[in-house]
Chain A
Amino acid sequence: MLSPERVRVNRPGLHVVLWLALLSLSACASVSTGEKGRAVRVRLDLAELASAHEGERHALLIGVNHYDDESWNDLRYPGKDAEDLGRALADPSRGGFHSVTVLSRPEQTTRAAVLEALRALAARPWRPKDVVVVYVSGHGTLARDARGDLQRYLVMRDTRFRDVQGTGLEMAALERELERLASRRRVLVLATCHSGTGKSLLPPAVLDELERTKAAFVPRPLEEDSRASLVLSASDWGEAAREDDALANDIYTHFFIQALDGSGDRNRDGAVSATEAHDWARRHTWTYTQGRQRPSARMMEVGADPVLLSGTLKRPGQPEVFSYSPRLEGFTLKVDGVDAGELPGGVALPEGRRKLGLHKGGELLWEDTVALHLGERRALDSLLRELAEGHRRTASLEVGALGFLDGRSRREVLPPTVMAGAGLRLRGVLLEQRLDVGVDLAVGAGRQSLRLDMGGTVPVRHRAVMLGVTVGPSWEWGRLGVSTGPRVAALWLERSFQLDLLSQDERYLTVWPGWMGGVSWRVGARLVLEAKGQLLWAYVPVDGRTRAVGFGGLLLSGGYRF
Chain B
Amino acid sequence: MRASRHPSFLALAALVGAGACGGFNNGPLQAGTVRGRILGVESDVAVVSVFGRPDLRASVSPDGRFELRDVPATSVELFLVASRTRAARTKVLAQGARIIDVGTIDAPLGGFITVRVRDSQGNMPPRATVEVDETVFDDLEVDASSGEVRIGPLPAGCYTLEVEGDEYDETDEDVCVHEGEELVHEVVLGNDDPGGDDDGGD
Residues of chain A touching chain B, judged by Cβ–Cβ distance below 8 Å, are 412-414, 430-431, 435, 437, 450, 452, 454-458, 469, 471, 488, 490, 495, 497, 499-502, 504, 506-511, 513, 538-544
Contact = CB atoms under 8 A, between A and B. Distances in A.
A501 B26 contact: no
Given A458-B73, A458-B95, A502-B29, 20 more contacts: A430-B6, A437-B8, A452-B96, A456-B94, A456-B95, A456-B96, A471-B8, A488-B15, A490-B18, A499-B98, A502-B97, A504-B28, A506-B23, A506-B24, A509-B20, A509-B21, A511-B15, A541-B23, A543-B24, A543-B27
- Of the candidates B2, B15, B29, the one having the most CB atoms from chain A within 10 angstroms of its own CB is B29
B22 A506 contact: yes
11 contacts: A412-B26, A454-B72, A455-B74, A456-B96, A458-B29, A490-B18, A500-B32, A506-B24, A507-B22, A511-B20, A542-B25
Interface in B11-69: 11-12, 15-30, 32-33
Contacts of A490: 15, 18
Contacts of B94: 456
Contacts of B15: 469, 488, 490, 511
Contact of B20 (A435, A458, A504, A539): A539
Contacts of B12: 469, 471, 488
B30 A454 contact: yes
Nearest to A413: B24
Contact of A508 (B6, B8, B22, B75): B22
Nearest to A488: B12
Given A508-B21, A510-B20, A501 B97 contact: yes
Interface in B75-103: 75, 93-99
Nearest to A487: B12
B9 to A, nearest CB: 8
Contacts of B97: 458, 497, 499-502
B18 A431 contact: no
Contact of A450 (B11, B27, B29): B29
Interface residues of B, number: 36
Contacts of A542: 23-26
Contacts of A458: 29, 73, 95-98
A219 B96 CA distance: 83
A542 to B, nearest CB: 5
B31 to A, nearest CB: 9
Given A458-B96, A469-B12, A511-B15, A435 B25 contact: no
Given A431-B3, A454-B73, A501-B99, A508 B29 contact: no
B16 A511 contact: yes
Contacts of A457: 95
- Of the candidates A413, A499, A506, the one having the most CB atoms from chain B within 10 angstroms of its own CB is A499
Interface string B132-157: 00000000000000000000000000
A501 B28 contact: yes
Contact of A430 (B3, B23, B26): B3
Contacts of A538: 20
Contacts of B19: 510-511
A490 B12 CA distance: 10
